[in-house]
A and B are shown apart, each in its own frame.
Chain A
Amino acid sequence: MKQLAENLRSSKFVGLAAALAALAIAPLFINNDFYLDGFILIFVWGAFSGTWNIISGYAGMISLGHNAFFGIGAYTSTLLFLNLGLTPWLGMLAGGVLASSVGVIIGLICFRLRSHYFALATLAFGQVCSILALTWRSLTQGAEGLALPIQPSLYNMIFASKLTYLYLGLALFLAVIAISFLIENSRLGYYLTAFRENEDAARALGVKTGRVRLIAMAISSFLAAIVGSFYAQYLVYIDPSSVIRIQISIQVALFTIMGGLGTVLGPAIGALIFVPITIFLRAQLGTALPGMHMIIYGSILILVLKYMPKGIYGTLRQKFLGH
């Protein structure tokens, strides 16, 4: 009986993975840039939400400064390429390491703050980084932004076909899901959950709550920067409003919470559902009734949270698996 329940559980997981794979293969048969772009955006936001979930979902430390890590990734790889000719494949790693170091420093300073105070401190950090990108014109060109030369090549990590970006985005998306799965089923994941649920009890049971959060922050900010670099390579042009404005943090928080905070698939499913909704609403209503798409989007968010307080995946999982 126990075995059966466990098999059922894993088969459900395999089923969901198969569904995701099917969704990933579907775009290959669509020769339409608008839809391809939609899928790439789903993968970018899904992956980014997954990285955010590692520190904010599992450890419960809601970060509103992840736009900074995303932006650091985007700017580092782009600047290294423009100024030193370094391939973005390496620039991406450099951005990850930089973001990760900044993340650990922020963690060291802010981890003593709890819940909303931590959120506010990271919000301030994210805002400062965003303003820095706007005003440090000698480095970032400010609001003018930085354009990558459109010379498609593997070394430049710029491709003529959107399909290549789609594959890369998909790889990133699945990699973040896999990493989340590994974390959730490792001692790190158990310890992060313990911290989120009750810090005193966790410490009394030998959980080094400071260290595990720093590790989670380092992983989360590293991966966020990687996604940011990829996004920059896809856009081929970055400015503060596209890669480091504070709304980006709010957006990933929304996708994750809508999908299911602290779950492996929640962030991915949140992005899968809500990225298309935003694109569709903007395309259909953006010009006809200015602002209307935001009103409808907001209403959908409110309804989901009212009837599925643990997010779409989180609530369904609880209903069918009991936890």
Chain B
Amino acid sequence: MLEVNNASKWFGGNPVLKDISFTIQKGEIVGLIGPNGAGKTTLFNVITGFYRSKTGFIRFGGKDITRMKPEDICQLGLCRTFQITKPFSNIPVLKNVTIAALSRTKNIRSAQKKAEEVLDFAGMLNKKNLLAKNLTIADRKRLEIARGLATAPKLFLLDEVMAGLNPNELKEFLPLIESLTCAGTTLFVIEHIMTVIMNISHRVIVLDHGEIICGGSPQEVACEPEVIKAYLGEEYAVTQSR
């Protein structure tokens, strides 16, 4: 479904992504992990057209999207959330999601209906008339997901949707992630919370210094010495081996 072949990205003279190649199949849930500054979000930006890969190509559903604009890529069914949430602050939650739903219909009423369905799914229907700027961080993250879902993505890229949540919020958030995984949408997920990523992912890709250092099932990856060294830390290795 998604094929990234030899993608790379430089900021000035700094290589941020080097020769990244991987594929994602339909129905898969793939985790993307790696230390801060590894290039995870940059990779998302390259895939979704916000940055342009300097080399190689990216195909989505057989179509070359390397040089396409984000708005056109979204129309193809590839949508992403932002790690730092980007709500349309001064308008109500419902209108936020309706805008997203308008990518699939021209009719405002049917877009609103779709938006309400999605908000219900995300557990935010009771907040639909609030201005987005008045939401808590947790709700902004939910809104990011709801807006993305309203575009009916075939492949959905989630960029740390659970970062910055307190333990309580996290507990309330997990069912949403679980129902997302059950809904059958293909997911590509950046996440730092290991228990979550290890539980939901079919496969994990580990990025460090702009390179894929490892890929495989969550169990394989967690035992890889290189991954432990770069990212998980000794402590995690100990708990795993027990």
Residues of A within 8 A of B (CB): 185-187, 190-191, 193-194, 197-198, 200-209, 322-323
A205-B131 in contact given A186-B108, A197-B89 (Cβ < 8 Å): no
Q: Are A194 and B99 interface neighbours, CB within 8 A?
A: yes
Partner of A190, one of B87, B89, B102: B102
A206-B88 in contact given A185-B108, A193-B99 (Cβ < 8 Å): no
Q: Are B92 and A323 interface neighbours, CB within 8 A?
A: yes
B75 within 8 A of A: yes
A-B contact count (CB 8 A): 84
A194-B86 in contact given A203-B70, A204-B48, A205-B103 (Cβ < 8 Å): no
A197-B88 in contact given A190-B99, A205-B147, A208-B71 (Cβ < 8 Å): yes
Q: Can you list the 3 inter-chain pairs with the closest CB atoms, starting with the nearest?
A: A206-B103, A197-B88, A206-B74
Task: Give every chain B residue within 8 A of A198 (Cβ-Cβ).
Answer: 86-89
Chain B contact surface mostly: mixed
B26 within 8 A of A: no
Closest to B92 in A: A323
Interface size class of B (residues with CB under 8 A): 20 to 34
Closest to A262 in B: B90
Q: Are B131 and A204 interface neighbours, CB within 8 A?
A: no
The minimal Cβ–Cβ distance linking B52 to chain A, given in whole angstroms, is: 14
B100 within 8 A of A: yes
Q: Are A323 and B131 interface neighbours, CB within 8 A?
A: yes
Add 7 more A-B contacts to A197-B89, A208-B72 (CB < 8 A).
A198-B87, A202-B99, A205-B74, A206-B75, A206-B151, A207-B71, A207-B103
15 chain-A/chain-B pairs, Cβ below 8 angstroms: A185-B108, A186-B108, A190-B99, A193-B99, A200-B70, A201-B88, A202-B99, A203-B50, A204-B82, A205-B74, A205-B99, A205-B147, A206-B100, A207-B99, A323-B129
The minimal Cβ–Cβ distance linking A293 to chain B, given in whole angstroms, is: 35
Residue of A186, A197, A198, A208 with most chain B CB atoms under a 10 A cut-off:
A197
Task: Give every chain B residue within 8 A of A193 (Cβ-Cβ).
Answer: 88, 91, 95, 99
Closest to A310 in B: B90
Closest to A197 in B: B88
B192 within 8 A of A: no
The minimal Cβ–Cβ distance linking A163 to chain B, given in whole angstroms, is: 39
Q: Are B87 and A201 interface neighbours, CB within 8 A?
A: yes
A204-B102 in contact given A186-B108, A194-B88 (Cβ < 8 Å): no
User: Complex formed: what's the CA distance from A208 to B150 in Å?
Assistant: 17
B207 within 8 A of A: no
B203 within 8 A of A: no
Task: Give every chain A residue within 8 A of B151 (Cβ-Cβ).
Answer: 205-206
A197-B100 in contact given A204-B74, A206-B74, A323-B131 (Cβ < 8 Å): no
Closest to A203 in B: B70
User: Complex formed: what's the CA distance from A204 to B80 in Å?
Assistant: 7
User: Complex formed: what's the CA distance from A323 to B111 in Å?
Assistant: 20
The minimal Cβ–Cβ distance linking A203 to chain B, given in whole angstroms, is: 4
Partner of B108, one of A190, A200, A322: A190
Residue of A187, A202, A204 with most chain B CB atoms under a 10 A cut-off:
A204
The minimal Cβ–Cβ distance linking A173 to chain B, given in whole angstroms, is: 26
Partner of B71, one of A186, A190, A206, A322: A206
B69 within 8 A of A: yes
Q: Are A204 and B108 interface neighbours, CB within 8 A?
A: no
B106 within 8 A of A: yes
B98 within 8 A of A: yes
Closest to B70 in A: A203
A201-B102 in contact given A185-B108, A186-B108, A209-B71 (Cβ < 8 Å): no
Q: Are A205 and B90 interface neighbours, CB within 8 A?
A: no
Q: Are A205 and B79 interface neighbours, CB within 8 A?
A: yes
